Structure 1
Amino acid sequence: MKEAIQEKAMEMYMKLGFRGVTLDDIAQEMSISKKTIYQHFSNRNELIEAVAKHMLQEIKDEIDNLCQGQFNPVEELFAIRSYLRKTLEGKYQLPIFQLQKFYPEISQKIKQDQFCKMHDSVMDNLKRGIDMGLYRPELDLEFITRIYFAGVTGTKDPNIFPEDKFNIHTLHTQYLEYHLRAIGTEKGLVLLHQHLQETDENS
């Protein structure tokens, strides 16, 4: 029953956002009592946190799929960026916005989990890139991994990059290009230029 409640809650949150759905709404939709929900989740915030963690796990799983060797390290970063753009600006856009605005404590926990996942993913990407001669071997991997996360999250901050001055889609591509130019070898930059050229031709 706990999984069923969580699945129904997630379905409703995706459509209406966290603020638009009450426990009464979920109970009515499932034809159960609110008391039944409380048997599995002590309060509304606990259910929201469970759903938010499930959302993050779905994103983690998809990123893992993209990192199975089908792309070289340069292409991999663009593939992950493309997936996140479609996902975070699609079905997850409203719930994530409301999570950040109305449930900051839960949002902070999710952000910490997000950092751990991105840390591991970027670290693996850097090591593969160095092994393949695409990234400079003298890089401080821990520093690059953390500064990359800071940059990615920073470009999402409207106080730093207001929407009336920056196009969010172009901004993310610019940051990724900035990152790769900073760490790439001549061989890696050739792949970057090829990718950017192909993207321009297909846009």
Structure 2
Amino acid sequence: MKEKILVKATDMFLNLGFKSVTMDDIANEMGISKKTIYAHYENKTHLVEESTSNLFLVISSGINDIIAVQKNPIEELYEIKKFVMLHLKDEKSSPQYQLQKYYPKIYDDLREKEYDLMFDSVVENIKRGLELGIYRSNIDVDFVSRIYYSGAFAIKDHKIFPSSKFKAADLEDYFLEYHLRGIVTPKGRQILNGIINSNQE
């Protein structure tokens, strides 16, 4: 039951928002009593913490599986983007914004873990791209990795990119193309254009 509550709560948090969903909503949706939820999770903060922690483990494990296949680094970034978007439900409800505003401690802890995972994987991606000659040899790996990380979070800032003007999926596409066009060689550009064209078909 604990696992079922976690799965349902995570799904509702991502679709409706961490603040918007109440313990009553989860109980009603599952057809169980609120008391049953409290038997496994002492309060909503605990449930939010477990939910985000579990989601992070699922996503980080999936990213590691994608990286282990050792695809072309450009393809790899697109695979990771697709995988993350699938698990975050296209972030319809701005869950990151709600998490940051109403559960700042959980948000900060999660962001720290995300930084370690994302920064390391981006560094490895760039190094492999350099070895394959699809990323420019004169780029500063440390700088580009940090810029990529910063940008990935900036596009989720609704003050800069209001959801009334930008769809989350479009922003992810724009940002990834922007990042790659700045670092690819002519050889890499051919691969990138091929992926973009196939995605538009």
Q: Are 2:31 and 1:14 equivalent residues in the alignment?
A: no
Shift of 1:157: 1.2
Paired residue for 2:95?
96
Shift of 1:169: 2.4
What are the within-5 Å matches in structure 2 for residues 5-154 of structure 1?
A: 5=2, 7-17=3-13, 18-19=18-19, 20-22=21-23, 34=38, 37=40, 44-69=44-69, 71-89=71-89, 96-97=95-96, 98-154=98-154
Question: Is the CA contact 2:6–2:47 (under 8 Å) kept in the aligned structure 1?
Answer: no
Question: Is the CA contact 2:5–2:37 (under 8 Å) kept in the aligned structure 1?
Answer: no
Question: Is the CA contact 2:75–2:195 (under 8 Å) kept in the aligned structure 1?
Answer: yes
Equivalents in 2 of 1:82, 1:189: separation in Å? Answer: 20
Instruction: For 2:108, give the aligned amino acid.
Output: Q
Count of paired positions: 191
TM-score, L = length of structure 2? 0.80
Q: Are 2:158 and 1:162 equivalent residues in the alignment?
A: no
Instruction: For 1:161, give the aligned amino acid.
Output: F
Distance of aligned partners of 1:32 and 1:193 in 2 relative to their CA distance in 1, 3 Å threshold: closer
Per-residue CA deviations over 1:90-139 (Å, capped at 9, x if unaligned) read 5x765935433421211111111111110011011001101111111222
Shift of 1:166: 2.9
Answer with 1 or 2: which has the greater Rg: 1
Per-residue CA deviations over 1:43-91 (Å, capped at 9, x if unaligned) read 653443233111101000111111123520011111111112222125x
Equivalents in 2 of 1:49, 1:96: separation in Å? Answer: 13
CA RMSD of aligned residues (A): 2.8
Shift of 1:33: 9.1
Instruction: For 1:96, give the aligned amino acid.
Output: P
Equivalents in 1 of 2:171, 2:81: separation in Å? Answer: 12
Distance of aligned partners of 1:94 and 1:197 in 2 relative to their CA distance in 1, 3 Å threshold: closer
Per-residue CA deviations over 1:164-195 (Å, capped at 9, x if unaligned) read 33343222212111111111111111111111
> Any gaps of 5 or more consecutive residues in structure 2?
none
Distance of aligned partners of 1:101 and 1:195 in 2 relative to their CA distance in 1, 3 Å threshold: same
Equivalents in 2 of 1:190, 1:83: separation in Å? Answer: 23
Identity %: 31
SS in 2 for 1:183: coil
TM-score, L = length of structure 1? 0.79
Question: Is the CA contact 1:99–1:107 (under 8 Å) kept in the aligned structure 2?
Answer: yes
Equivalents in 2 of 1:152, 1:105: separation in Å? Answer: 20
Equivalents in 1 of 2:22, 2:67: separation in Å? Answer: 35
Instruction: For 2:130, give the aligned amino acid.
Output: I
Paired residue for 1:177?
177
Shift of 1:161: 1.4
Question: Is the CA contact 1:126–1:141 (under 8 Å) kept in the aligned structure 2?
Answer: yes
Question: Is the CA contact 1:136–1:183 (under 8 Å) kept in the aligned structure 2?
Answer: yes
Question: Is the CA contact 1:12–1:21 (under 8 Å) kept in the aligned structure 2?
Answer: no
